[in-house]
A and B are shown apart, each in its own frame.
Chain A
Amino acid sequence: MLEIRNLHARIGDKEILKGLTLTVKDGEVAAIMGPNGSGKSTLSYVVSGREGYEVTAGEVFLNGENILDMPADERAAKGLFLAFQYPVEIPGVTTMTFLKAAMNSQRKHRGEAELSTPDFMKRVRTASDKLGVAQDMLRRALNVGFSGGEKKRMEVLQMTLLDPKFGILDETDSGLDIDALRVVAEGVNALRGDGRGFLVITHYQRLLEYIKPDSVHVMAAGRIVKSGGPELAHELEANGYRDYIGQAA
Chain B
Amino acid sequence: MSATVTRIKSEAEASLESAFAVARESLPGQAKVQALRDEAAALFACNGLPTRRVEAWHYTDLRAAMRTMLPLAQPPGKALIAKAGAALAPAAEGQVRAVLIDGYFIDELSVGLITSDITMRPLDVTLAEGDRVAIEILSTPNLGRGDAALALNTAFMQGGVEIDVEPGYHAALPVELIQINSADKPSAIFSRSMVRAGAGSKFTLLERHISLGTEAVQKNDALVLFTSGRSQVEHVFVRERAPDSQTHVHSLLLNVWEDVKLNSFALVEGGGLLRRQIFARFESERAELSLSGSTLLRGKDHADTTLVVDHANPHNSSREYFKHIVDGSATGVFQGKIIVAPHAQKTEGMMKSQTILTGVDAAMYNKPELEIFADDVTCGHGATVGALDPVQLFYAMSRGLPRADAETLLLEAFAGDAIDRVADESLRDMLIARVRSWLQRRAMS
Using a CB–CB cutoff of 8 Å, the interface residues on chain A facing chain B are 45, 48-52, 71-73, 75-77, 81-82, 84, 87-88, 90-93, 97-98, 101-103, 105-106, 109, 141, 158, 162
Contact = CB atoms under 8 A, between A and B. Distances in A.
Contact of A73 (B392, B402, B410, B414): B402
B416 interface: yes
B365 interface: no
With a 10 A CB-CB cut-off, give which of B395, B398, B402, B410 has the most chain A CB atoms.
B398
A102 B399 contact: yes
B27 to A, nearest CB: 47
A90 B400 contact: no
Contacts, number: 78
Interface string B387-404: 000111011111111110
A214 to B, nearest CB: 25
B409 interface: yes
Given A52-B390, A102-B401, A105-B400, A73 B395 contact: no
Contact of B399 (A45, A71, A92, A162): A162
Contact of B396 (A77, A90, A91): A90
Interface of B: 390-392, 394-403, 405-406, 409-410, 412-414, 416-417
Nearest to B402: A73
A184 B123 CA distance: 67
B391 A92 contact: no
Given A71-B403, A101-B405, A92 B398 contact: no
With a 10 A CB-CB cut-off, give which of B390, B396, B405, B410 has the most chain A CB atoms.
B396
B436 to A, nearest CB: 12
With a 10 A CB-CB cut-off, give which of A50, A71, A77 has the most chain B CB atoms.
A50
Contacts of B416: 92
A105 B395 contact: no
Contacts of A162: 399-400
The prevalent SS among residues of B at the interface is: helix
B398 A48 contact: yes
A73 B397 contact: yes
Contacts of B396: 90, 98, 101-102
Nearest to B411: A92
Contacts of A81: 398
Nearest to A72: B397
A82 B390 contact: no
B413 A73 contact: no
A84 B397 CA distance: 13
B323 to A, nearest CB: 10
A41 to B, nearest CB: 12
Contacts of B390: 51-52
Contacts of A72: 394, 397-398
8 contacts: A49-B398, A50-B398, A72-B394, A72-B397, A81-B398, A93-B410, A97-B409, A141-B413
B398 A76 contact: yes
A162 B402 CA distance: 15
B397 A49 contact: yes
A102 B400 contact: yes
B400 A93 contact: no
A211 to B, nearest CB: 21
A52 B391 CA distance: 11
A51 B397 CA distance: 11
A189 to B, nearest CB: 22
A92 B397 contact: no
Contact of B409 (A45, A75, A101): A101
A73 B398 CA distance: 5
A40 B405 CA distance: 29
B392 A77 contact: no
